[in-house]
Amino acid sequence: MTSFWKKIDLKLSFKNKLSPTMIVLLEEEERNGAKVANQFRYLIGAAMTVSIIANLPNIDTVWGYAVNFGALFFYFVNTYIHAYILRCQYEYWVKKYEYISIFFDNFLVSITILNWHLLKGEGNPNFILKNPVYSFYLLPLALSMFQFRIRLVLFSFLCFFFAHCIFLAYTFHIGSPIGNDWYKYVLGDELIVTDAIVTRPIIYFSLAICLSYGIYRTILMLKRLANAEAQKTSLARYFSPDLVEEITSQPDVIQSGRRQKVTVLFSDIRNFTKMSESMDPQDLSTFLTGYRSGMTKAVFHFGGTLDKFIGDAVMATFGTPLPAGVPGLDSKNAVLAAKGMLAELKKFNLERESEGKPGIEIGIGIHTGEVFAGNIGTEERMEYTVIGDTVNTASRIESACKRVSAHLLISEEVWEEIGRPDDFRQTESILLAGKEKQVNLYKWSEEV
C-alpha cells in the first residue's frame, strides 16, 4: 500500500518541474494549508453540533444519542490530535496523519449514516443511500483542497467511494425495493439502481477532479508568478525599472536576437590596476560596490541598459532591447547618462576625500551603430548582450580618453545625432586600435 501511494505521489507531484525556491515555498504553503484546514474543522464541528441538536427529537434511543454524540466527540478528538501534531511539527507523522484523519472522518460519516438507518430506516436499506448525511462526505473532500495536494483530494474520494460500494453491496444483499419511478425514488421507498450506482459517484468524482484541477492551476499560477518575479529581479540588474515592466510584458523582445542600431557607452577607472593592488579585498569590494551603484543609477535614470561590469569597467547600451522612436534620442540619453556618471563620480570622490582617501578619475567613450542584440550563451547560462564592431569601437574610444586627457569622448556619429552641441570640441584625428583610418572624436569640455 505504501509503494502504491508513493507511485501516486510521483505521478501527481509537480515538484520535479519547480525551482528549489518554489519547492520550499510550496511545502511551506502545504503546512500552512494543513493548519488552516484544521482550524476550519472546528467551524465544521460547530455546524455539525447545531445539526445534531436540531435533530434531537428524532433520536429516541440511548444508542442513537451515544452514536451521534460519540461520532461528534471523536471528530473533535481527531481534530485536536491533528492540531497537536502540526503544532509540534512531528515530521514523521505530519503527512501520514493527514491520510489517517481523512479516513477517520469518512469512517465517522459512514457510522452516522448507518446509525440513522438503524434508528429510522424501518428495515429498508434504501434509507442509507437516501440519507441527507451522505452530503457530509463532501467535507473531508473540501478540506483536503486547502493543502495544495491533489493526492489528498483523490484519497478522500476513494474513502467515499469505498464506503458507497459497501452500502450498495449491503443494500442489494438485504434486498431493497427497486423500481424506475422517480417520484417513488425521491419520496418513496424504492431505489433506481442505475442512479444509485452511477450518479452520486460521478458527481463526487467530478467534484474531486475540479478540486484537483483547481490545485493544479493554482500551482501553475504560483509558478508563473514566481518565474515572472525572478525574471524581474534578474532583469532589474541590467535594465531600468520602466524597461523591466516593458520587457516582462513582451518577453519575446529579448528572446529572439536581431540586428539593430544601438548607442554603446564604456567607462573605465584610470590606474585601477595599480590602485587595487594595494587594497584589502574587503575594501576593494566595498569600493567597487559604491562606485558601481552611482554609475548604475545614472545609466538607469536615462533609460540605459547595464550590459555588464568588467572589473572596474562599465558597459551600458541605449536603445536596447527596443530603440527609441525618436531619431538620435538613444545617443542623447547616452551622453546625458555619461554626464550623470561624472556627476555621481564627484559625489563619490567627496565621500572618499572626507574619509582621507584619494579621489579617482574615469574615462567614458560613446559610439553608435548597428549591432546584434539578443540572448547569447548556452542553455545553462544565457546573457542578453550586444556584439559587433560598434561595441569594439566604443571600447577603443574610451581607451583614447587617456591620450587626449578627456573624461568623456564621443564619436562623430554620436556628435551629429545629438545636434552638434557647442560643449563638445573636436580633438585631433586619432587612429583607434584595429582601425585603418583615423577618426574624429569630440571631447566634452566641463568648463563650458
pLDDT tens-place string over residues 185-207: 777 778 888 888 888 889 899 99
Amino acid at 113: I
| Mean per-residue pLDDT, 25-52 | 84
CA distances, 186 to each of 130, 183, 189, 412 (Å) = 8, 5, 8, 91
| Mean per-residue pLDDT, 408-419 | 93
The pLDDT value given to residue 11: 45
Closest CA to 400 of 434, 359, 358, 370: 434
Task: Give me the phi and psi of 358, to 5 degrees please.
Answer: -70, 150
> How many Å from the N-terminal Cα to the C-terminal Cα in the chain?
84
The pLDDT value given to residue 342: 94
Kindly report the average pLDDT of the chain as a whole number.
82
CATH topology of domain 241-444: Alpha-Beta Plaits (3.30.70)
Least confident of 51-65, 162-176, 309-323, 388-402: 51-65
- Please give the angle made by the CA atoms of 357, 362 and 364, to the nearest 5 degrees: 165
- Confidence band (pLDDT; 50, 70, 90) for 348? very high
The pLDDT value given to residue 254: 54
C-alpha 108/C-alpha 103 separation (Å) is 9
| Mean per-residue pLDDT, 343-366 | 91
Task: Give strand ranges (E) for 356-430.
Answer: 362-377, 382-387, 408-411, 424-426
The pLDDT value given to residue 391: 92
Residue 182 has pLDDT above 90, yes or no: no
Within a 13 Å sphere around the CA of 146, how many CA atoms are in the beta-carbon half? 16
Residue 334 has pLDDT above 70, yes or no: yes
Given CA atoms 447, 368, 267, 321 in this order, what sign does their dihedral have? positive
Domain ranges of the chain: 2-233, 241-444
442-446 LR contacts (CB < 8 Å, sep 24+): 442/409, 442/410, 442/411, 442/412, 442/414, 442/415, 443/404, 443/406, 443/408, 443/409, 444/338, 444/339, 444/406, 444/407, 444/408, 444/409, 444/410, 446/342, 446/407
Q: Which residues of 246-266 are buried (b: 16+ CB within 10 A; e: fewer)?
A: ebbeeeebbeeeeebbbbbbb
| Residue 265, H or E segment | strand 258-269
pTM for this prediction: 0.56
Q: Which residue carries 425495493 as its cell?
A: 177
- Confidence band (pLDDT; 50, 70, 90) for 22? low
| Mean per-residue pLDDT, 347-357 | 90
The pLDDT value given to residue 8: 47
State the cell numbers at 242. Answer: 520602466
Question: pLDDT (tens digit, 9 = 90+) per residue, 378-402?
Answer: 555 556 778 889 999 999 999 999 8
- Confidence band (pLDDT; 50, 70, 90) for 237? low
